[in-house]
Amino acid sequence: MKSFKSPKGLQRWSLEMRTQGTPVALVPTMGFLHQGHISLMRRARRAVGKSGKVVVSIYVNPSQFGKGEDFKTYPRNLTRDLQLCGQEKVDAVFIPDNAAMYPGDYSTFVLEEDVSSSLEAVTRPTHFRGVTTIVCQLFNIAQPEVAIFGEKDFQQAITIKRMVRDLHLPVRILIAPTCREQDGLAMSSRNAYLSPNQRQQATVLYQMILRARELVNQGKPSSWNPVRLQKALEPMLLETPGVRLDYLAFVDSEHLRPMQRVTRGCRMLLAAYLGSTRLIDNARL
């Protein structure tokens, strides 16, 4: 497995791959890899085949964390991450440092202004500017033909798709399904912050999605007023007092606009705090 620390080093290698006609798939991560990331790597391998190259970037991107957020404490374990990438037969890892990605006089940012301006952005107003900026850098460095993102971060995936479309970036975006623990909790590096009790309570997020799906799919009424649907889910939160809802929304999957009526096929997104840990989840209803 090749390992690159310098953007120029990876870019040179990727351009060489491109010249040879070897497709490159990129899996951008912030490390502390779990089964969800592994499923992205496998999806990447399927996308480019045995003769293609899978590149995993491991970089905790400071510009997507707001003031007071968990940049410093974000879980890290590079040794284990490299082991997992090796086991998955990844061809190359990219592990830059902050000086390489954001030199002292760094001054260029990428801003998507539609799909990234609601939902997560209310609590994390600078988050997606950081994500689009780093992902754009990674695309220019790794020159991937295809890049894989998890459905778990649905707004992020839609934002990146929009950036790619608007800026004519020559990369295909694949969204891979959310990986869940046996009890339904969406896999996330941040789950490591939860106490055993919080870990148990966190399953309410997925329970709410299942309940909403059940209500919307039972066909009576044939469509739901979003406020009424939210009210129908609220008792589940009252039963789990350790969970504080940040937002719950029913939107269309392309523009992330709020639905006047919720029907089968709408996207439900929610974010909640367990103590100081903020978790998100979403699904198609």
Give me the residues that bind ligand PAF (CB under 6 A), please.
28-30, 61, 64, 131, 134-135, 153, 156
Distance from C-alpha of 163 to C-alpha of 112, rounded to nearest angstrom: 6
**261 in Cβ contact with 223 (< 8 Å):** yes
* C-beta closer to ligand PAF: residue 64 or 240: 64
255 in catalytic set: no
Catalytic residue, candidates 37, 127, 168, 255: 37
* C-beta closer to ligand PAF: residue 61 or 277: 61
Which residues in 117-213 belong to E strands, given as ranges?
146-150, 172-176
* C-beta closer to ligand PAF: residue 74 or 250: 74
Task: Provide, rounded to whole angstroms, the least separation between the CB of residue 210 and ligand PAF.
Answer: 24
* C-beta closer to ligand PAF: residue 22 or 117: 117
Q: In the 8-state DSSP scheme, what is residue 72?
A: T
Task: Provide, rounded to whole angstroms, the least separation between the CB of residue 56 and ligand PAF.
Answer: 10
Task: Provide, rounded to whole angstroms, the least separation between the CB of residue 117 and ligand PAF.
Answer: 17
Distance from C-alpha of 154 to C-alpha of 79, rounded to nearest angstrom: 29
Task: Provide, rounded to whole angstroms, the least separation between the CB of residue 203 and ligand PAF.
Answer: 22
* C-beta closer to ligand PAF: residue 60 or 243: 60
> Sheet of 267-274: strands edge to edge?
243-251, 267-274, 277-284
* C-beta closer to ligand PAF: residue 57 or 201: 57
Task: Provide, rounded to whole angstroms, the least separation between the CB of residue 53 and ligand PAF.
Answer: 18
Task: Provide, rounded to whole angstroms, the least separation between the CB of residue 27 and ligand PAF.
Answer: 9
> Sheet of 53-58: strands edge to edge?
2-4, 92-94, 53-58, 24-29, 146-150, 172-176
Active centre residues (catalytic): 37
